[in-house]
Amino acid sequence: MPELVLHNSLTRRRERFVPLDPEHVRMYVCGPTVYDVPHIGNARPAVVFDVLARLLRSLYPRVTYVRNITDVDDKINARAAERGEPIGAITARTIVDYHADMAQLNVLPPDIEPRATAHIIEMLTLIERLIANGHAYAADRHVLFAVSSFPQYGRLSGRSPDELLAGARVEVAPYKRDPGDFVLWKPSPPDLPGWDSPWGRGRPGWHIECSAMAWRYLGETFDIHGGGSDLIFPHHENECAQSFCAFPGAQFARVWLHNGMLRVGGEKMSKSLGNFSTVRDVLAEAPGEAVRLLLLRGHYRAELDFTAAGLAESRRELDRFYRALDRVPAAAGPMPAPVPVPVMAALCDDLNTPLALAGLHALADAALAGDAQAAAGLRSAGALLGLLQADPAAWFRGAGDAGAIKAAIAERQAARRERDFARADAIRATLAGQGVVLEDGPAGTTWRRASTGEGAGQ
């Protein structure tokens, strides 16, 4: 088995991955807050950790991948009020949208997708434990985590408690003992979601849900916790604090992985800046597989500029891969080939997807030269990355009715036989204007839809 190395945010170094239980690898990834359709930045962790889950499944006998849904949150409440729509309707619809969009990107469902609202009991249990352990206190119908009770606070984000306090720009609520204390539970008025608790009707703070759901499904200590780098502070720092203090002696997540942010025009893509594209917008411009490839063309920890040019380039790369698969029909056979070593080695090296893709290009070269084994390897390597599983014919020509195109091709063939090249070229130009590219080969003429920016009519 190849050795898997991962960069651990907690130690800031690359470490050999050693699962707690080699028979059962456990991973938790922060999922979406469901108040709006997902944007392409939300898709990056989904895709990145989907690749990791696929890799882990190929390396270990059993993997449990948990990705939560946050369905209680002030942003959701605000959206509901603003639109005059019931909270449940917004979250239900957004979850459907999220699943649909992720499926378009070939993101497989996680093994467990728990919702925060279904785990209030676990949250309350944790909060009571924290109070009992002296790490939390009730004040003014809130329950707060006492940062000063946890000397290691700041370890994950690499900050000292003093720094964090000095940098606290948030308005400090009067009931906080310490400006850095954060809310575990807060009161909820009748018009907002709320649950009965020892401190009155209330709802959870942001961070406690992940501690609760990770505990519920993966235990006090598990292998991997993932999410966007913008979650390191405060979200993951606070999760760490809660879980460490609720379960003294346990390690919570042993390896922390964080994906870099997407950028647009050199700036982070974010809701607050308003510079985001929804997954839907992007899917109107390019196939989901091209979007996925674009997200994997950079290393997951690096920032990635999201550009139309990059998307078009990804599509052309896929054209070549699918051409290679098309060249050797055996590649579509039922027997999955082993993933070629260079690709596996690259992925095991802290998920180096750009290097793995270079390996795919080498396989494509060989396949185009007629190497059926390389084509089969390309298909397997693609499967590990969540790519190249479509029928090449579908990739190039889509599902629409091609009768008119085929008729035009037949007409052009007749003109060519009569050496009426002016006529033949005119037909080809007409098709090109419709975004159809012809390729004359020894076995006849084939056609495909032009990629973005290729040829006329695009």
Site for RNA in 152-211 (CB under 7 A): 157-159, 163-164, 167-170, 206
Report whether the peptide linkage leading into residue 234 is cis, meaning its omega lies within 30 degrees of zero.
Answer: yes
β 136-139/142-145 pair status: antiparallel
Give the shortest CB-125-to-RNA separation in angstroms: 22
Q: Which residue in 234, 271, 279 sits closest to 102, CA to CA? A: 279
Which of 89, 103, 302, 404 forms a contact with RNA (CB under 7 A)?
302
Site for RNA in 377-396 (CB under 7 A): none
Would you say 20 or 233 has its CB closer to RNA?
233
Q: What are phi and psi of 26, to 5 degrees?
A: -125, 130
Show contacts with RNA in window 43-62 (CB under 7 A).
Answer: 44-45
Please identify, using beta-carbon distances, which residue of 79 and 135 lies nearer to RNA.
Answer: 79
Output 389-398 pairs: Cβ under 8 A, ≥24 positions apart: 389/106, 390/289, 390/322, 391/332, 392/322, 392/323, 392/325, 392/326, 393/326, 395/287, 395/289, 395/318, 395/319, 395/322, 396/319, 396/322, 396/326, 396/448, 396/449, 397/447, 397/448, 397/449, 398/449
The token pair at 364 is 């494509």
Shortest Å, Cβ 412 to RNA: 7
For residues 356 and 385, the answer to whether their CB atoms sit within 8 Å is yes
User: Among 303, 332, 435, 452, which residue interacts with RNA (rule: CB under 7 A)?
Assistant: 303
In the complex, minimum distance from the CB of residue 411 to RNA, in angstroms, rounded to a whole number: 12
CA atoms of 275 and 277, how far apart (whole Å) = 7
Shortest spacing between CB 237 and RNA, in angstroms: 9
Q: Give me the least distance between CB of 387 and RNA, in Å please.
A: 13
Residue 33 touching RNA (CB under 7 A):
yes
User: Which parts of 319-338 interact with RNA (CB under 7 A)?
Assistant: 320, 323
Q: Toward RNA, which CB reaches closer, 206 or 256?
A: 206
Token pair belonging to 453: 């920016």
**HEC assignment per residue over 314-329:** HHHHHHHHHHHHHHCH
CA–CA–CA angle 148, 150, 156 (5° rounding): 115
For RNA, the closer CB: 133 or 307: 307
Q: Tell me how many residues contact RNA (CB under 7 A).
A: 77
Residues from 226 through 245 that contact RNA (CB under 7 A): 227-235
Q: Would you call 403 helix, strand, or coil by DSSP?
A: helix
Identify which of residues 60 and 293 has a Cβ nearer to RNA in the complex.
293
Tokens of 458: 């695009």
Q: Which helix (H) or strand (E) holds 205?
A: none
Contact 327, 372 (CB under 8 A): no
CA distance 458 to 456: 6
Of 164 and 331, nearer to RNA (C-beta) is: 164
DSSP secondary structure letters along 306-366: --HHHHHHHHHHHHHHHHHHHH-GGGGSSSPPPPPHHHHHHHHBT--HHHHHHHHHHHHHH
CB of 184 to RNA, least distance (A): 13
Binding to RNA in span 422-441, by CB under 7 A: 424-425, 428, 437-441
Question: Binding marks (x or -) toward RNA, 260..279, rule CB under 7 A?
Answer: xxxx--xxxxxxx---x---
Q: Which of 57, 115, 155, 416 binds RNA (CB under 7 A)?
A: 416
Minimum distance from residue 139 beta carbon to RNA (Å): 18
C-beta of 163 vs 411, nearer to RNA? 163
Whichever of 60 and 299 has its CB closer to RNA, that residue is 299
- State the nearest-atom distance from the C-beta of 248 to RNA, in Å: 26
**Residue whose CB is less far from RNA, 201 or 320:** 320
**C-beta closer to RNA: residue 201 or 327:** 327
Q: Rule CB under 7 A: which of 333-362 touch RNA?
A: 349, 352, 354-355, 357-358, 361-362
Q: How far is Cα 47 from Cα 299, in angstroms, rounded to an integer?
A: 12
Residues 65-124 that bind RNA (CB under 7 A): 75
What is the nearest approach in angstroms of RNA to the Cβ of residue 434? 15
- In the complex, minimum distance from the CB of residue 74 to RNA, in angstroms, rounded to a whole number: 8
Judged by beta carbon, residue 20 or residue 37, the one nearer RNA is 37
CA-wise closest residue to 2 among 388, 384, 389, 387: 384
CB closer to RNA out of 100 and 362: 362
By C-alpha distance, which of 123, 289, 100 is closest to 195?
A: 123
> Can residue 297 be called a binding residue for RNA (CB under 7 A)?
yes
Q: % helix / strand / coil in the chain, to the nearest 5?
A: 45, 15, 35
**Least distance in angstroms from the C-beta of 369 to RNA:** 6
Q: Which stretch binds RNA (CB under 7 A): 296-304, 331-339, 377-385, 389-397?
A: 296-304
